[in-house]
Amino acid sequence: MSSLSHFLSTHQLLIIYTCTILTLCTLYAVQPIQPLFEKEFSLSRFEAVIFTTVIMLPLGFAPIFYGYILETFSSKLFLRNAVLMLGILELCFAWSDTYPVLLAIRALQGILIPAVLTSLMSYISFITPKDKVQQAIGYYIGATILGGFIGRLFSGILSDFFGWRLFFVLLGIALIVMFGALSFLSEEVKVDFVKPKLSQVLDVLKNKTFFNIYAMMFFIFFVFQALLNFLPFQLKNLSSSMGYGKVGMMYAGYIIGFIISIRILWMIRLFGSETKTIVFGILTYFVGLQIFHINDYTVMFGGMFVFCAGFFIIHSVASGLISKLAHEKRAISNGLYLSFYYAGGTIGTFAPGVFYHYLGWHVFLGLLSFSVIATLFFALKLQQSLHS
């Protein structure tokens, strides 16, 4: 019986990880081909980058509201229908011809994605033995990283050969197939949506340790999304004939996040503490960012590995630190972490574009470098609050 349950849980985890990869493809596939949309639909630069902004906007807020909305819903039914709707919306996106409709579809997908991801994580905790949950969540993080890269790479490659629509048709079909595959999941789990009271939120924010982590991650993800969202435009500036597959391949540095996420405890032991590891991550992040001043594809490609290594060191340590320190307020603490993290990322997808548009690439990188230095201030304050 135990071997049968192990077999079933392994297959269910495989379905969950595949669904995670496809969901992250949905989130990021548009990013490397935004200059293509700018050209095809005669958009301004701002209108083109908003494709990533609108889908990210709900990520920080939706999990909080879902806690109140979904108490009466079947978690399995909800997850399957959300994935089915993502697939149908993807097909609609592929067949749409007007910018407002394309944007509205992305916004609707943004509302669905946090619900799908939260449900998938709850399922992992439910079907995995307690001693294997940490490992299973590690693989889930790996699946999000893989999905982010695969979506960007294949949307770029297929856009070069068949136009931009084919990738979204294939992704839509894959999500609809996933709707069928999700029927094999266990019947019900309790989905861990947060339902915070304002007083509880304020209590967590008054804690200096938590606040420093939140402020640090706001700026960290602000910088990350800013660079990743405007880089395709800079690459097209360097060579207007550069293929979108080559632009998509630029995100290969993302994959280093998978190695870091499963080796982070070793790194913390190496540096002696979480805060020292974070400071090392910030310095690596800063150095990686400076490499992008050299306007050469190969140099930038290498720089992406350094930049992403810094990012995933900071993110892996900070998210683990929140869980370790939170105790009885873990759900609210983690929920606020995601809210600050995605709020920073959402603003990063469009706001620094003003600097890029009017003052150029190097001033844009200067602004991001200044933001990284600000995170160092919060990291040092964090170190003080942990040791006081």
Task: Give, for all 388 residues of the chain, the pLDDT tens digit.
Answer: 355 555 567 888 999 999 999 999 999 999 999 999 999 999 998 999 999 999 998 887 776 666 666 555 667 888 899 999 999 999 999 999 999 999 999 999 999 998 888 788 778 877 777 777 767 877 888 899 999 999 999 999 999 999 999 999 999 999 999 999 999 887 666 655 556 677 777 877 788 888 999 999 999 999 999 999 999 999 999 988 899 999 999 999 989 998 898 888 899 999 998 999 999 999 999 999 999 999 999 999 999 999 999 999 999 888 888 877 776 666 677 778 888 999 999 999 999 999 999 999 999 999 999 999 999 999 999 988 877 6
Residue closest to 118 by CA, chosen among 189, 12, 28: 189
- What's the CA gap between 86 and 241, in Å, rounded? 33
pLDDT at 70: 58
pLDDT at 196: 66
- What's the CA gap between 20 and 25, in Å, rounded? 9
pLDDT at 333: 77
> Which tokens hold the place of 203?
């209590």
How many Cα atoms are found within 13 Å in the side-chain-facing hemisphere of 47?
A: 16
pLDDT at 2: 53
- What's the CA gap between 299 and 146, in Å, rounded? 23
Residue 87 to residues 23, 75, 79, 191, 253, Cα–Cα distance (Å): 10, 18, 12, 22, 28
Q: What count of other Cβ atoms lies within 10 Å of the Cβ of residue 9?
A: 18
CA 95, 99, 104, 105 torsion: positive or negative?
A: positive
Q: What count of other Cβ atoms lies within 10 Å of the Cβ of residue 98?
A: 9
pLDDT at 1: 38
- What's the CA gap between 303 and 287, in Å, rounded? 9
- What's the CA gap between 299 and 289, in Å, rounded? 12
pLDDT at 252: 94
- What's the CA gap between 219 and 305, in Å, rounded? 19
**What is the pTM (predicted TM-score) of this model?**
0.89
Residue closest to 253 by CA, chosen among 313, 290, 303, 297: 303
> Which tokens hold the place of 298?
């190969």
- What's the CA gap between 339 and 336, in Å, rounded? 5
